[in-house]
């Protein structure tokens, strides 16, 4: 920020300039809370998704992001191959925020089904989205293009969220969450 603009800001905001400037700097640089579903964990070992998934996990290692993991994910991982099941154990616990599947999340997931965003067989996907929505994550990451990372589905989930008074949710695949250096 050049000194003339800084002086204009100081004049406008007065004594609170420094406090506001520091708050904005924190917001711009704050650690993102990324809800991950089971496909992201499995993607770490999948030839097609491995490179981008590992790049996202590198952001986790560098403490640029926090992964929000739910009891839904933990339950699904119980049936996963051993290396998938044990992947998250390799990271410090403070890299994660643990959240629970609540009755409110179950109800919201049921609304997604009732409103025909997806069919009944996708209830676990709906629960991921509901838990992420209720916990106000910055973004939900998934490699599930059929039921989650799909423009029509995203519009459907967000339409239901708005209809029932919830915030909309940002849904992306891990490739979109990689930080690229200036090229």
pLDDT tier at 23, thresholds 50, 70, 90: very low
Per-residue pLDDT at 42 exceeds 70: yes
pLDDT of 143 over the 70 cut: yes
Same domain, 37 and 77: yes
The segment with the largest mean pLDDT, out of 5-19, 27-41, 68-82, is 68-82
Percent of the chain with pLDDT over 70: 81
Residues 35 and 24 in one domain: no
Would you say the pTM of this structure is higher than 0.85?
no
Q: What is the mean pLDDT of the chain?
A: 88
pLDDT at 158 over 60: yes
Q: Does 132 lie in the same domain as 66?
A: yes
Residue 127 or residue 9, greater confidence? 127
Q: Is the pLDDT of residue 64 over 60?
A: yes
In this predicted structure, what is the pLDDT of residue 22? Answer: 46
Secondary structure (DSSP) of the chain: --HHHHHHHHHHHGGGHHHHHHHHHHHHHPPEEEEE-HHHHHHTT-TTTHHHHHHHHHHHHTTSEEEEEEHHHHHHHTTS-HHHHHGGGGS-GGGEEEE---HHHHHHHHHHHHTTSS-GGGHHHHHHHHHHHHTT-SEEE---TTTTS-HHHHHHHHHHHHHTTPPP--EE-GGGGPPPPP-
Whether 19 and 41 map to the same domain: the answer is: no
Question: In the predicted model, is pLDDT for residue 19 greater than 70?
Answer: no
Domain boundaries, position 18: 1-30
Domain count across the chain:
2
Question: Is 101 in the same domain as 78?
Answer: yes
User: Looking at the structure, do residues 41 and 75 belong to the same domain, yes or no?
Assistant: yes
**Judgement on whether residues 26 and 67 belong to the same structural domain of the protein:** no
């Amino acid at each position: 920020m050049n000194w003339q603009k800084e002086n204009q800001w100081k004049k406008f905001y007065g004594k609170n300039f420094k406090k506001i400037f520091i708050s904005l700097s924190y917001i711009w640089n704050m650690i993102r809370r990324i809800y991950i579903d089971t496909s992201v964990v499995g993607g770490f070992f999948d030839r097609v998704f491995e490179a981008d998934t590992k790049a996202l996990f590198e952001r986790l290692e560098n403490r640029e992001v926090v992964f929000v993991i739910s009891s839904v994910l933990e339950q699904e991982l119980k049936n996963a191959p051993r290396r998938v099941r044990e992947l998250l154990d390799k990271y410090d616990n403070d890299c994660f925020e643990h959240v629970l599947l609540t009755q409110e999340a179950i109800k919201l997931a049921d609304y997604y089904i009732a409103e025909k965003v997806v069919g009944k067989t996708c209830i676990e996907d709906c629960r991921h989205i509901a838990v992420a929505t209720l916990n106000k994550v910055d973004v939900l990451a998934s490699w599930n293009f059929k039921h989650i990372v799909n423009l029509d589905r995203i519009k459907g989930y967000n339409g239901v969220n708005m209809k029932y008074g919830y915030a909309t949710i940002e849904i992306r695949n891990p490739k979109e969450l990689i930080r690229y250096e200036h090229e």
